[in-house]
Structure 1
């Protein structure tokens, strides 16, 4: 397998990004998201969202690829959370296609987001993930993130209340 390359997303990537997000969410969220929510994930809606994000550069969007085949993506920018200092960045979304899980794609994307946030002058980075997404929690903790236990928030997914946790880590260091 060739090495993973990271590049800025272009409008041509929007459909692949949407396909990756939907496939990864349907796999990763199985068991705690309601089936109706998983089945209603729309590639067309996600594609429209990511096209707009790419055009507006909000969030900054990077694609991981091998031989120009998209394998995953990360969106990052300043934190959207109220009351956070301007030196706090946030990973808004990070997904790898399920067939590329456990192959270093996620690690490469998190590192690229860290580098981008550091260039923007951020010293801390955060992200939100579902409390029930144990695979993601293990991945992020292995990447140096720590849970902010006082940051739990409930979100409604098709009538089911699910908790999300904020995780954080320094942008500096390994």
Structure 2
């Protein structure tokens, strides 16, 4: 597959929930490996993760889109209005964006970002934010290349299983 390959992005269906959950867990494991050194990567049990994504797809909260490589899901994005307190209704948020490690640096993330941006604009959003682990250099670099700017005063510590992760919000206009 060349770097010029384009990926079809479509709305997720209930049948996609298991594949999304599996991809979510494997992507978290891979992304967090470098961040956590010798600490075991905290991963949500597959049945719980699948139930979450089934409900998200069913109720469109967040809206979920999947990237396809032929008939295989290789990435997904969940987006909706911002969950942060005090944000205006025109603030969107990428709740999750994950790509199979086999498809990193091949344009899947960009295809998902384009789909999320389009969907948020259709919802009347003018800005978008995302929360990212500060130590996830790959994700930070991707979003900064996509025009997101770090909001330095938003850094916070979140507990994921037995591990504490430093996160920061990034933000950008949609147009």
TM-score (norm. length: structure 2):
0.92
Give 1:60's aligned residue: 63
Q: Out of 141, 163, 168, which is 2:166 matched to?
A: 163
Give the distance between the partners of 1:116 and 1:42, measured in 2 at CA: 29
* Alignment partner of 1:35 is 2:39: yes
Distance 1:66 1:101 in 2: 13
Shift in Å, 1:48: 1.1
Shift, 1:153, TM fit: 1.4
Which residue of the other structure, out of 149, 158, 164, is the alignment partner of 2:152? 149
Aligned equivalent of 1:136:
139
1:18, 1:46 within 8 Å by CA — same for their partners in 2? Answer: yes
Distance across 1 between alignment mates of 2:133 and 2:121: 25
Which residues in structure 2 correspond to 1:1-174 (within 5 Å)?
1=1, 3-33=6-36, 35-38=39-42, 40-172=43-175
Cα distance per residue 1:100-120 (max 9 Å; x no partner)? 100000011011100000011
Answer with 64-73 or 120-129: which moved more.
64-73
Spell out structure 1 runs of 4+ moving beyond 4 A: none
TM-score by length of 1: 0.93
- Kindly indicate whether the alpha-carbon contact (under 8 Å) linking 1:59 and 1:76 is maintained by their aligned counterparts in 2: yes
Ranges in structure 2 where 5+ consecutive residues have no aligned partner: none
Q: Which SS does the other structure have where 1:165 is aligned?
A: strand
Q: By how many angstroms is 1:93 displaced? A: 0.1
The question of whether the paired residues in 1 share the 8 Å contact of 2:33 and 2:41 is answered with: no
CA RMSD of aligned residues (A): 1.4
